[in-house]
Amino acid sequence: MDLKSLLLVGLGSFVGGSLRYVSVFWIDRKADGDFPLSVLLVNALGSLLIGFLAPMYSKFGWNHGHAAPLMLSVGVLGGYTTFSTFSLHTLQLLQAGSFGLAAANAVLSFAVCLASVYLGLKLGQTVWGL
């Protein structure tokens, strides 16, 4: 690890975290209910985008230490998506006795994000000609 890599990840994380804050704020204003829809949607979009970018990195021969994957995947998308918030929301639902919502959040988050990264990968392979 060098200073340039650290700065790329840090800058990307700032952008991604800021985008997550705005996205969650906006979605939460529009959505009603106890289900943490905003975090599910943010994580699904982040999964779609990381899947989409992976074939591009491969096409150009960029390994995980290259500037683009460091800034975009580790930084921006790492800052944008949030496993910790998903975990906290699920725990809070459990503690509130909302076992059905907690289970739905866990199952939907896993299924939707896995499907999103797969769809993103397939789209990326098509776009990047792989």
Q: What pLDDT does residue 67 have?
A: 94
CA distance 107 to 118: 17
Q: What pLDDT does residue 105 have?
A: 97
- Give the rounded distance of the alpha carbon of 46 from its chain centre: 3
Q: What pLDDT does residue 1 have?
A: 82
**What one-letter code names the amino acid at 38?**
S
pLDDT 10s digits, 62-80: 987 899 999 999 999 999 9
Q: Which residues of the chain have pLDDT under 50?
A: none
Q: What pLDDT does residue 90 have?
A: 97
C-alpha dist (Å) from residue 19 to 4, 73, 95, 109 = 23, 14, 29, 19
pLDDT 10s digits, 2-20: 999 999 999 999 999 999 9
Q: What pLDDT does residue 84 have?
A: 93
pTM score: 0.93
